[in-house]
Amino acid sequence: MVRLGQNFLADPNLLDAIVRDAGLEAGDVVLEVGAGEGVLSERLAGAAAHLHVVEIDRRLEPALAALEERPNVDLHWADAMDLDLAGLEPAPTAVVANLPYSVATPLILRTIEELPSVGRWTVMVQREIADRLRAAPGSRTYGSPSVLAQLACEVGMLRKVDPAVFKPRPRVESAILALRRTGPAADPATRELVRAAFAHRRKALARSVEHVRPGSLAATRAALEDLGLPPDARAEALSPDDFAALSAKLRPSE
């Protein structure tokens, strides 16, 4: 039965592989979003010092009853996009999950931003999301999520996943995505710039940003030229590092 659009992993070999891929250490605190029937959760609880499990579907309570009794597990019945992630104690150091398809991208970006204690992510996502987050500049799938993820993390795909390992079988391909933090999340000004730059993909970056920051056209063009980039460059031509440098150029001097 599909619950809130969830697809549950049914292959024990793949579940074991995900835990191995996560490379958990005895002191790790894991955040798992979307427990489903708890089959991955049980493995994570046995491998980590502490496990925070977030599940929104109360109909899964009977399946998760044994998990809730574990002394090193906190089960949070909540929407992960509303939960106070920064308030989790102890603070998570890793995210390992079969993420709900509908919130995978915003949730990954939110954990990068709000959980600086997290150093790595090992997550099952739609193949399309995996391709988007690790996309290179100039590619069709490169966009604001790619930039924001790559500004803080190295992003790579560990393996493709056969739809047959899920119940029910999804209509889309999946993949296991790995992120390793390399620095802090983009600051608010940079996040706004990146999202504004990609908001109108057919326009030059400076003109797209102008819609969000009226009066910024000349300054953005000048900053691009200062960085050795064409003043009429489109957002997809800039690397994550280019966006960080552009944001710094446009930051008001104090």
The pLDDT tens digits for 162-219 are: 877 777 777 788 999 999 999 999 999 999 999 999 999 899 999 999 999 999 999 9
Tell me the pLDDT tens digit for each residue of 90-113: 999 999 999 988 899 999 999 999
Domain ranges for the chain = 8-181, 188-250
- CATH value of 188-250 in 1.20.1440.120, 1.10.8.100, 1.10.3720.10, 2.30.30.790: 1.10.8.100
Matching fold, domains 8-181 and 188-250: no
Confidence class of residue 252 from pLDDT cuts 50, 70 and 90?
confident
| Fold of the domain spanning 8-181 | Rossmann fold (3.40.50)
Closest CA to 158 of 141, 138, 133: 133
C-alpha of 109 from chain center: 4
